[in-house]
Structure 1
Amino acid sequence: MAEILIVDDDPQLRRSFGRILQSEGHTVRLAASGEAGLEEVKTRVPDLVILDVRLPGMSGLETYQAIRDVEAKLPVIIMTAYGTTETAIEATKMGAFDYVLKPFDIPSMLDLISQALKAGRFMRTKVAVDSVPDSFRGDALIGRSRAMQEVYKAIGRVAATDATVLIRGESGTGKELVARAIYQHSHRAQAPFLVINCVAIPETLLESELFGYEKGAFTGAASRRVGKVEQAHRGTLFLDEIGDMPVSIQAKLLRLLQERSIERLGGRRPIPVDVRILAATNRDLEEAVAQGRFRDDLFYRLNVVTLMLPPLRDRREDIPLLADYFLARFAAELGTPNPGLTAEARECLMAMDWPGNVRELANVIRKALIFNRGYPLEPADVLRAVGENGPEEASGRRVVSAGEEGGGGWLDRWIFEQLDQGRSERLFDELVDDFSARVIRAALEITGGNRTQAARLLGISRPTLLARMEKYGIRVEASVT
């Protein structure tokens, strides 16, 4: 999955932790000193470095600075004992992704590693604008329509500035790709780019995740913690789904935008920060302001520059380009020949309403390719990939004539049926669990029961997948890994 370098003078930790990471599918390289670790990075840049602060010879901070001189966008996680927490905090301020205290909790560490690898990919994987990246190893904003040309122009205008940018559009339109393109074309491109999903993190944790906390700020705060805002100092912070940010946290974000300073939880002094804010939402913020769910002063601060991404149904002429791109990209990723699309399949794709936008189109192409038998994709292959219950239902629920509004499909009907029948006080959690179990079973079926490949397909760690499988009572044959 990824190549990880562990730099630590403790041979037992190197071996044991290295075996754990290898069991997760990673390639692990080991170094016992800062000098050796630096040579490893110079020889071949890994995807992530896990670095101890206390090292013989070159110190952890000196090693970290030397690594940054070799590859500024390489994510580094600092390991430290309680006595060297301040040193780790200094490294984080310098741009280290995060730090952990020894002894650390393995599942929490694995989750942090997953976050760091994702951040590293975001920073180092270029977003091609209106072109296909070399060997399909990057991401791309694809489209020749007039609406997308306006988006490209806007990216060019705002990238060179430090202006706050609000990226708006429906789910699946590519808001994160636009944020990354702005970052990569800005003068902050060598500094950190960190992402916070405001709806994925519980309200009780979001504030500390953003702004950090002081030792003793609350029960369990055994040491000082630097938040993502400070970690992104001199870089860029992307706040995804900002329309779902709790009102209780919006005041602190407003202060950041107005005064360029923050206070950690439990802190008493302002901390100056230099960070550019990019934000994205699929919510109607004007309506949220009117309903009191979003601060009007924060909305005006965020709304300095607005980029509106068009839904896919409003740029149907781009669908064949996107389909060809995804087909070639996924064929390369899966190691299978690119079967191509028939003219009838292209017409079928262009006739659909795509409520999930580009993300949905990508998923349909991937699924159709997985079940392809070598011949060019036809309308039946596309429709089968769209609907679980066969092309007839898929066609009925998704294909629309020009100007017609798209209707709900099997998933919508299933949800309404459950809501109509449900009387449980935990109905929402039960529905989420039911759907999650269906998705996991599908991933295991596609990968032939291989847990590692299924976790990779779902974008989660293997321990997370195993925990969910145990929770939902999902079993596969013992011989499958």
Structure 2
Amino acid sequence: MRLLIVGALSGQLTAATRIAIDKGAAVVHADSVDMALRTLRSGRGADLVMIDVAMAIGDLIAGLEAERIHVPVVACGTSTDARAAVNAIRAGAKEYIPLPPDAEMIAAILAAVAADTRDLIVRDDSMAAVVRLAEQIAGSEASVLVTGESGTGKEVLARHVHRRSGRAGKPFISVNCAAIPEHLLESELFGHEKGAFTGAVARRIGKFEEATGGTLLLDEISEMDVRLQAKLLRAIQERVIDRVGGGKPVPVDIRIIATSNRNLADAVREGTFREDLLYRLNVVNLKIPPLRERSADVSALADHFARKYAEINGMPRRPISADARRELISAPWPGNVRELENTIHRAVLLASGDEIGVEAIRSPDGSRLGHGFGGRTEETVAKAAATAEAVTRSLVGRTVAEVERELILDTLDHCLGNRTHAARILGISIRTLRNKLNEYSGAGLDIPAPGEVRSVA
């Protein structure tokens, strides 16, 4: 986790920096916005920027956008400075951290940005076989494709491969291809030269060069535009890149690991993914089974998360009761490890008594976890059938386009405007979702921004 602190290191900001370092962050400091931009251009990248609320946050955000640098920004300042906090969020900061700093709040923000805080915990034979294969090929230079459903731990396994490789002492750089808009991703990966486009005031080093000597993880690579895939293929084959606007190839020495929650062979048939690139990436395929097929891992992970969140929240450690453990093992876990982690965190907060009982194992809406069709009572099945029939009748007389539009926008509301989460729930690519939203916006519809829902008339 690489953290860039922007502002004078005095008082509470110094304390925040010490906390971040104690939580495992590698911290770089910049006195000014200009210095921060120079740092980010130079190849000393950051996973998160923390800026003093008194600094020109709008100038930093504008500079990042103009130079196509994709990095989340959080502001920090005294808790009494409410106006400055509001202005920071309006300027584009993703979060506001009140000072004096709270260690657990900083830890939570760092953990939300950096997935490397997650541990690789394996007890189930099916997952153990995948890890053995990962360790067997870790020392090679072969490209690796890690596949599996969303939330199964693909990035965690990729980091494990890096730690077991000969490149372990070098950088591990992760790029989420689904989270970065198409027009920014090329510059993010390959960098750019001064004058390459309006706003490119200086050379910028991209992720390929940042990762030189180490490993570059291309997360959710199926979301990469086909035109950019051609440039990626050349980089993998020839070990050189071309910065945007550059005329001289730049040699790079990296190992590529890619992840996908989609079937790339299907994407090849659909024309959205290059077949030659798939062959280059898929030298070794590490296919992670879904959590519902790893019952031993469910139990071990649940114990781990129970200890972790008891400590984080300053609560007593409680064992998971036998009934609660059976409930966890029998749940379908469509969100996999990520969903299990959230469920246990919630259970730690809701539990009372000496154990985490079954009454604390709840969905976000407070209901019991689903157990699939086989575990339902006849009454529940009848209610579900009646609901399904009512929904079907409500669709009659409407066009497919109308139903699709309502489903997409309702799902986006459910995800508070988060495009990536909505696309995963809908089972479509982030590119397809963005195209649909652009279409709806052009038709005059209200499209929620990230963190928002549609306004209700």
Same fold (TM over 0.5): yes
AA partner of residue 35 (structure 2): M
Aligned residue for 1:445?
none
Change (3 A) 1:191 1:251: same
SS of the residue corresponding to residue 119 of structure 2 reads strand
Match of 2:272 among 278, 287, 293: 293
SS of the residue corresponding to residue 141 of structure 1 reads coil
Match of 2:304 among 314, 318, 325: 325
Aligned residue for 2:363?
386
CA-CA distance at 1:169 after TM superposition: 0.7
Unmatched runs of 5 consecutive residues or more in structure 2: 50-54, 65-69, 75-93, 95-105, 377-383, 419-448
Asked if the contact 1:172–1:356 (Cα under 8 Å) also holds between the matched residues in 2, the reply is yes
AA partner of residue 162 (structure 1): E
Change (3 A) 1:183 1:433: same
Aligned residue for 2:435?
none
AA partner of residue 79 (structure 1): M
Of structures 1 and 2, the one scoring higher in RCO (CA 8 A, sep 6+) is 2
Aligned residue for 1:272?
251
Aligned residue for 2:324?
345
AA partner of residue 8 (structure 2): R
SS of the residue corresponding to residue 35 of structure 2 reads strand
AA partner of residue 317 (structure 2): N
Does 1:27 pair with 2:6?
Answer: no
- Cα shift readout 1:153-211 (whole Å, capped 9, x = no counterpart): 11211221221110011111110100111112222222211111111111111111111
Aligned residue for 2:35?
79
Does 1:195 pair with 2:158?
Answer: no
Instruction: Give the number of equivalent residue pairs.
Output: 365
Match of 2:238 among 259, 262, 278: 259
SS of the residue corresponding to residue 288 of structure 1 reads helix
SS of the residue corresponding to residue 227 of structure 2 reads helix
CA-CA distance at 1:400 after TM superposition: 4.6
AA partner of residue 198 (structure 2): T
Change (3 A) 1:150 1:334: same
CA-CA distance at 1:307 after TM superposition: 0.5
Aligned residue for 2:440?
none
Normalised by the size of structure 2, how large is the TM-score? Answer: 0.67
Task: Among all aligned residue pairs of Structure 1 and Structure 2, give the percentage whose two residues are the same amino acid.
Answer: 39
Take 2:24 and 2:303, find their aligned partners in 1: how far apart are those partners? Answer: 32
Aligned residue for 1:14?
8
Deviates more, 1:197-206 or 1:218-227: 218-227
AA partner of residue 345 (structure 2): R
Change (3 A) 1:223 1:425: farther
SS of the residue corresponding to residue 27 of structure 1 reads helix
- Cα shift readout 1:414-444 (whole Å, capped 9, x = no counterpart): xx89x958949975774355224499xxxxx
Take 2:280 and 2:409, find their aligned partners in 1: how far apart are those partners? Answer: 39
AA partner of residue 16 (structure 2): T
Change (3 A) 1:327 1:238: same
Aligned residue for 1:302?
281
Does 1:205 pair with 2:194?
Answer: no
Unmatched runs of 5 consecutive residues or more in structure 1: 7-12, 30-40, 54-76, 128-137, 402-408, 440-466, 474-481
Asked if the contact 2:193–2:245 (Cα under 8 Å) also holds between the matched residues in 1, the reply is yes
Alignment of 1:174-189 (within 5 A): 174-189=153-168
Please provide the CA RMSD for this pair: 4.4
Change (3 A) 1:97 1:275: farther
Take 1:98 and 1:322, find their aligned partners in 2: how far apart are those partners? Answer: 26
Asked if the contact 1:126–1:181 (Cα under 8 Å) also holds between the matched residues in 2, the reply is no
CA-CA distance at 1:96 after TM superposition: 5.4
Asked if the contact 1:165–1:307 (Cα under 8 Å) also holds between the matched residues in 2, the reply is yes
Asked if the contact 2:416–2:453 (Cα under 8 Å) also holds between the matched residues in 1, the reply is no
